[in-house]
Structure 1
């Protein structure tokens, strides 16, 4: 790869798009194309550098390249090496986007659509998914932007991608307010994250356990915690203070996440309230209850 240091050009942005099969990579690449990016998918790795150099000789191109396990010559190590060398060479903004998804949801998507997993031609789909998760772990860890598509519909995924990668100046800030379970892992895409496990837990009330934070009875129980009112006042004040400053900074997409133990009661209630606050403040607001069963159509992508 010694020729990388000799090339010069005016490539504006390069995004390497990767992720788990079934997590939305094709949707993402179509969205990049709709946003005016030049798009290529699964070109052999040895041609990647050459393609970037050719794009760099143009008039400020923006290039999105899809890479996954089907890519000829693929290895996580080589992909990361290429990205590192491009950055060291001074290529304008180089980012790695990783599309992630819950293992059980991926299995359901493949089973219900009767699609074959690329690593499970002669074995169960679950085996192929686990093998792919292992082989792509390095890319997931190194990603500049990671989007978990588990509970996103196609329009929601496209809107998030537009927030991160639009070539047009944002007309207004788009905010996603998310609830999640700490037991299932923190959402890496969160810009602001708050732990609400200090609030009293409806799980230990027999008449509330089966309900969710979208039920008024659960909300009344959570709101009865002596710390609730002060906490909400402080959070609301912080968010209303920060949002216009993010707009001034030019940020077009923001994710605010609230977590509790199971992602079913406290975080859901608080996320609902903050979603309403954001929407009533004039921003585009979207709510995602990541770990609430049935909260999203998991097969939407």
Structure 2
């Protein structure tokens, strides 16, 4: 295996935020697993080592699998002596009062108190996890953290240059084929002159230089673009601040062939030039029909 496997073990008190943490690591590009029995892990490591394709894994361990708990410390000790795995333990904690409040809110039972008092289960779990907490390189107290704040904290700690934590999807579409259901922002450019009615442009699309120039040379198009891009550029940092991992900007015309395609190309490339990771797609550009297509 050419690269070292980066393993993050997510553990801690039940109710302290392990589900949020696992979802955050998924968005960071980690292969995530929730409570794989420790006895199966050695075989899994061998498969990973042989494949050479997985380099980042986040493994959640909590006391839902307490029958296997005695094996966990042995597994971690073995990993410490494995040359191809670099391990970090993230331990999530919260005060007893906060954990009780969260369990009361969700009406779930504690894994160690299904037939007893909630506080008895919390105390028992703290005792079992003491050694693991002492071994953890990163301990996060989530008592006063919202899920978004926990996510941000993990992003700051673990984000890497090869996997940006925020990216844009800029897409064109045709209103005649329906709105894209995954769009965060939708803009309509049907107010611009339609290249479809210029015979030489009818069977071409907005990626063609002549068609692109025809759309963009209109003064109304230039004024709209400047205002639209300025607005988008001003709000993207706010989306990032709120913990969004991606934003989809959908730009539509009638058929999704000319005007929307040209604008999508321009907006997408402007954001790329500004340093954002951007995917540019054209959902309906090839849905040309023999009937009238007023794109």
1:113–1:72 distance in 2 versus 1, CA, 3 Å = closer
1:74 aligns with 2:68: yes
- Equivalent residue in structure 2 for 1:45, among 30, 38, 50: 38
- Equivalent residue in structure 2 for 1:100, among 93, 104, 110: 93
SS in 1 for 2:84: coil
Report the RMSD for the aligned CA atoms in angstroms.
2.0
Deviations 1:213-260 (A, max 9, x none): xxxxxxxxxxxxxxxxxxxxxxxxxxxxxxxxxxxxxxxxxxxxxxxx
Partner of 2:191: none
Quick check: 2:39–2:71 contact (8 Å CA) kept in 1? Answer: no
Quick check: 1:11–1:61 contact (8 Å CA) kept in 2? Answer: yes
The equivalences for 1:104-253 within 5 A come to: 104-168=97-161
SS in 2 for 1:55: helix
Partner of 1:64: 58
SS in 1 for 2:9: strand
Q: Distance in 1 between matches of 2:149 and 2:99?
A: 18
Residue 11 of structure 1 and its aligned partner are, at CA, apart by 4.4
Partner of 2:84: 91
Q: Distance in 2 between matches of 1:97 and 1:43?
A: 17
1:21–1:63 distance in 2 versus 1, CA, 3 Å = same
Residue 72 of structure 1 and its aligned partner are, at CA, apart by 6.1
Residue 93 of structure 1 and its aligned partner are, at CA, apart by 1.7
Query: More deviation in 114-123 or 51-60?
Result: 51-60
1:104–1:64 distance in 2 versus 1, CA, 3 Å = same
Residue 71 of structure 1 and its aligned partner are, at CA, apart by 2.0
SS in 1 for 2:76: helix
Partner of 2:22: 29
List 4+ stretches of structure 1 deviating above 3 A.
8-11
Q: Distance in 2 between matches of 1:63 and 1:153?
A: 24
Deviations 1:144-202 (A, max 9, x none): 1111111000111001111122233699xxxxxxxxxxxxxxxxxxxxxxxxxxxxxxx
Partner of 1:12: 5
SS in 2 for 1:89: coil
Q: Distance in 2 between matches of 1:9 and 1:129?
A: 43
The alignment's TM-score, normalised by the length of structure 2, stands at 0.52
Q: Distance in 1 between matches of 2:72 and 2:115?
A: 27
Deviations 1:39-69 (A, max 9, x none): 0001111012222222223235201111111
Partner of 1:208: none
Residues paired across the two proteins, number:
163
Q: Distance in 2 between matches of 1:72 and 1:53?
A: 24
SS in 1 for 2:111: coil
Quick check: 1:46–1:73 contact (8 Å CA) kept in 2? Answer: no
SS in 1 for 2:144: coil
Quick check: 1:107–1:125 contact (8 Å CA) kept in 2? Answer: yes
